[in-house]
Amino acid sequence: MSAMRGWRWLAVLGPVVLTACSDGGGGGKNSAPVEEKNPAVSNPTYYEHVAQILNDNCVSCHQAGGIAPFPLDDYGSASMRAAVIGSVTRARSMPPFLVDNSGACNTFQDARWLSDNDITTLSNWAEQGAPAGDTPAQPPQAAQMPGLAPAEISATASMAEAYVPQGQPPDNPGDDYRCFIIDPGITDQDKYLTAFEAVPGNSALVHHMILFALNTAAAEQAAQQLDAADAGPGYTCFGDSGLDNSFAGEVTMVAGWAPGVKVTRYPSGTGVLLVKDRKLVLQVHYNLDNGDGSDQSAMRLALSAAVQKQALILPLADTKMVLPAGQTDTKFTARYTLPVQLLSAQIHGVFPHMHTLGRSLTVENTTSGGAKQCLAQVPRWDFNWQQFFFYDESKPAVRVHAGDTLSVTCSYDTRSRSEPVAWGNGTRDEMCVNFFYVTP
């Protein structure tokens, strides 16, 4: 069996039930600590020191019309929240970037990760009363996030009509998860998705978007049946495309977006297959805490007829997971030993996923010789800020080989539950998953 055929075989078998246990995951040190580019400032002012930190890391969300509930793009709005800024940056709950980018367990591209020195500068500014300093002739400018160039856009996956989101009581009165079937118009031949740009129609409401490929006629028909049975545009879904586990391998995640990331480019020379004449499903998570209104979102797609290496987005999970109730810190581990047909593979990125009881997550590889390799650590899980995290391409490639064992270990706080919590797509269910962006 060729390496590619073995890889296709793994794509089908990857999501099946894996061995579960209750031990935690370790954390090997794979990278040197991230260099501190700017020194900490003992007596910072807004215009000289703080504005640029906020503009580079926060203002893409914290501006008028953004997903954040308040702006931070001028001295008045930032100074009145100086204490909060100091607190949440020290806790690293903001800027939202789930994986540890310190270098203790790899470093990642486009990381919204403040240096320790920047955090100290913000804390000092807050503690000293948020001084403004001298107003410059040209105020610091917020970092701009360019979109795809017009020539790069091959197709647009757009909602066919506007949708007015509704809350989903009783579990999610402020949230709506809606799936929309979209025809990307790929009719001539199979294509490869190499980059995409999220275009939220209502930035105040759209919290994240995930694009799924319906790779078979049966999966497409099942999605259409869900759409027809639900009044209004699209259909209700939570966590994924809304199709059940019987379609595992026939529905694949091909793109994911969260606020603060405008364009995602897959690692150079790679792309994800989109089958011709097949439709897509765009899942949109709406957050109604920021207001109401309608939305008509889209994703602009950069497609290629060929790539050097076809990438797959493969899940590692164990659907037999059951969590005991009433626990402060209960752990669950899913493992998968790579088969001999795989030979070897490069992991380019990770997409960890849990629901609302999740607290932390570790992704590891244990080599056939017993050595542990930390792939990603999520020290503070936040359900609201999920996305793909791609490794820094300037560092050595992360590779795995036949006989290695991949694992994802999730930690949960189940004190709010009086009954065991099982695997499922519902809000009150849980998951422990990591998606790998890989090439053979």
- DSSP string for 202-243: STTTEEEEEEEEE-SHHHHHHHHHHHHHSSSSSEE-SSSSS-
Please report which confidence band the pLDDT of residue 143 belongs to, taking 50, 70 and 90 as the band edges. low
Assess whether pLDDT exceeds 50 at residue 15.
Answer: no
Q: Which domains does the chain have, with CATH numbers?
A: 3-30+311-439 (2.60.120.230), 46-127 (no CATH), 150-307 (2.60.120.310)
Higher per-residue pLDDT: 274 or 32: 274
Looking at residue 291, its pLDDT comes to: 77
Assess whether pLDDT exceeds 60 at residue 16.
Answer: no
With a pLDDT cut of 70, the percent of the chain lying above it is 88
Looking at residue 324, its pLDDT comes to: 98
Query: Residue 349 in 3-state DSSP?
Result: strand
Which tokens belong to 368? 């056939």
Nearest to 336 by CA among 7, 14, 9, 8: 14
Is residue 382 within 8 A of residue 92, CB to CB? The reply is: no
Minimum mean pLDDT range among 104-108, 136-140, 149-153, 303-307: 136-140
Q: Give pLDDT tens digits for 261-305.
A: 788 999 999 999 999 999 999 999 888 877 789 999 999 999 999
Minimum mean pLDDT range among 51-55, 119-123, 133-137: 133-137
Amino acid (one-letter) located at 267: P
Torsion of CA 112, 117, 118, 119, to 10 degrees: 90
Nearest to 206 by CA among 270, 151, 262, 285: 285
Looking at residue 304, its pLDDT comes to: 97
Is residue 219 within 8 A of residue 271, CB to CB? The reply is: no
Q: Give pLDDT tens digits for 299-354.
A: 999 999 999 999 998 889 998 999 999 999 999 999 999 987 777 899 999 999 99
Q: CB under 8 Å to 283, separation ≥6 — which residues?
A: 177, 178, 179, 180, 209, 210, 211, 212, 237, 240, 241, 242
Residue with tokens 């246990």: 21
Please report which confidence band the pLDDT of residue 169 belongs to, taking 50, 70 and 90 as the band edges. low
Q: CB under 8 Å to 231, separation ≥6 — which residues?
A: none
Highest mean pLDDT among 31-45, 63-77, 174-188: 174-188
Higher per-residue pLDDT: 179 or 23: 179
Three-state SS string across 295-307, please? ECCEEEEEEECCC
Nearest to 364 by CA among 28, 98, 14: 28
Is residue 233 within 8 A of residue 165, CB to CB? The reply is: no
